[in-house]
Amino acid sequence: MYNQICCNIGTVTVIPEKTGTVMPSCNIVTHKYTYDTTEQMAKELIRFEHISKSFENTDVLKDLTLSIHENEFLTLLGPSGCGKTTTLRILGGFVAPDKGKVFFNDEDITDLPPNKRPLNTVFQKYALFTHMNVAENIAFGLKIKGKSSREIKEKIEYSLKLVGLEGFETRSPASLSGGQQQRIAIARAIVNEPRVLLLDEPLGALDLKLRQGMQYELRRLKEELGITFVYVTHDQEEALTMSDTVVVMNQGIIQQIGTPEDIYNEPQNAFVADFIGDSNLLDGIMIRDCLVSLGGLEMPCVDTGFGCNTPVDVVIRPEDVELDANGKGQTHGTVTSIMFKGVHWEMHVESDIGITFLVQTTEHFPVGSTVGISVDPYNIQIMHKPSSEDAQVFDQNEAPAGESYEP
């Protein structure tokens, strides 16, 4: 039922408890969130406990702890080298962690070899067996399990139908396009009925159009199979489109765990804000609860608990900067550049407070025109400044309780 909801509206409605509780104190009416706290009680299936891993003196994962739930579409998102693939490979059994344990169904699988794990992987470069035809590729795992040839034949047909490649049994992998090979790789994995399907940037090698099509396909497959997907990507759009839960990683540390909406609307630190979507990442001073100063301009916001006169990072999404041709607004500015981006116009607006805003609107403002600039208090996201050099390292325990995803 929960998944059905996710599928229909394209995004996930799970919002961690307490997200909204900060608002009443600011006397601003809450209006935009829906709550769905009952459904997030899905059973925990996989647990990483204090996993650390380094390759040749480079720490790839630093004390990573993460829960993955039954029937969840969880995406590990981050730039290359952030440790997302290593996390997936530890789960697949291809890399052993230096420290920490991995549990599957409360059972310690840290030392279990990959061939004994109840999960299957779709590899980035497909990794099809070139010396076998499509049917033999798909049958590979089933034959090892000793299934009867009749059952194998039925399952090959079923899985090919699932990925939309009926009748491809006798084709050789080399004769298939990249997208078709990827589908065969998926069929080869899911035919074994794994509890969890691991996907390592499976769409990375496909062109844009095909990638978008496959995003829908994967989401549909997940609903049809009713299993857990753990997905690795560096493409934030892909992560936001498909996932129930997004885990943003950087430098071997989890930056934020949350629904795609959380991650986008309530980034927990500057790294997440910068990595997900376009954003105006600004220096501000939190004057008191619900009031932040940007370049001397005091703007109401909805965040509390930062103390008085505290330097903070401020994120304003480009689509949240409102422009007014008649000069109405909290401050004024001049449009310095404009570009057509298809759905919207993208502009740079130099404001009177010394800040150049990146703005996206569907309205056209000519270069040189003077506009009023205003931002809704809800659309101003306040974040702590990183405490030390290793910057975006944001200790989860210090994070505002309401913003971490802890079912």
Size of the site for other proteins (CB under 8 A): 24
Residue found under tokens 């279990």: 112
Residues 6+ apart with CB under 8 A from 155: 138, 142, 147, 191
Residues 6+ apart with CB under 8 A from 373: 321, 322, 323, 324, 329, 330, 331, 332, 333, 349, 351, 357
| For other proteins, the closer CB: 124 or 293 | 124
Helices and strands: H and E segment counts in the chain: 9, 20
Q: Can residue 178 be called a binding residue for other proteins (CB under 8 A)?
A: no
| For other proteins, the closer CB: 124 or 374 | 124
End-to-end CA distance of the chain: 18
- List the interface residues with other proteins, window 313-332 (CB under 8 A): none
Q: Is 18 left (phi over 0), alpha (psi -120 to 50) or beta?
A: left
One-letter amino acid for residue 249 of the chain: M
Q: Can residue 144 be called a binding residue for other proteins (CB under 8 A)?
A: yes
| Least Å from the CB of residue 209 to other proteins | 25
In the list 114, 178, 204, 329, the residue contacting other proteins (rule: CB under 8 A) is 114
In the list 35, 94, 158, 216, the residue contacting other proteins (rule: CB under 8 A) is 94
Residue found under tokens 């009680």: 41
Whether the CB-CB separation of 346 and 339 falls below 8 Å is answered with yes
| For other proteins, the closer CB: 138 or 349 | 138
| For other proteins, the closer CB: 8 or 170 | 170
In the list 38, 57, 80, 115, the residue contacting other proteins (rule: CB under 8 A) is 115
Cα–Cα distance measured from residue 203 to residue 179, given in angstroms and rounded to the nearest whole number: 8
Whether the CB-CB separation of 153 and 161 falls below 8 Å is answered with no
Nearest to 392 by CA among 245, 260, 266, 268: 268
Q: Can residue 121 be called a binding residue for other proteins (CB under 8 A)?
A: yes
In the list 29, 106, 113, 340, the residue contacting other proteins (rule: CB under 8 A) is 113
In the list 129, 158, 166, 336, the residue contacting other proteins (rule: CB under 8 A) is 129
In the list 7, 52, 123, 393, the residue contacting other proteins (rule: CB under 8 A) is 123
| Least Å from the CB of residue 13 to other proteins | 34
| For other proteins, the closer CB: 124 or 404 | 124
- List the interface residues with other proteins, window 190-249 (CB under 8 A): 192
User: Which residues on neighbouring strands pair with residue 250, listed in sequence order?
Assistant: 253
**252: which 2 tokens?**
């071997």
DSSP letters along 289-310, please? TTEEEETTEEEE-S---S-SSE
| For other proteins, the closer CB: 97 or 318 | 97
Q: Can residue 149 be called a binding residue for other proteins (CB under 8 A)?
A: no
Please choose, out of 182-190, 232-240, 330-338, 345-353, the segment that lies near other proteins by the rule CB under 8 A.
Answer: 182-190
| Least Å from the CB of residue 115 to other proteins | 5
In the list 83, 92, 97, 202, the residue contacting other proteins (rule: CB under 8 A) is 92
Q: What secondary structure letter does DSSP report for 234?
A: S
Q: Using CB under 8 A, list all residues that contact other proteins.
A: 92-94, 113-115, 120-121, 123-125, 127-131, 140-141, 144-145, 185, 188-189, 192
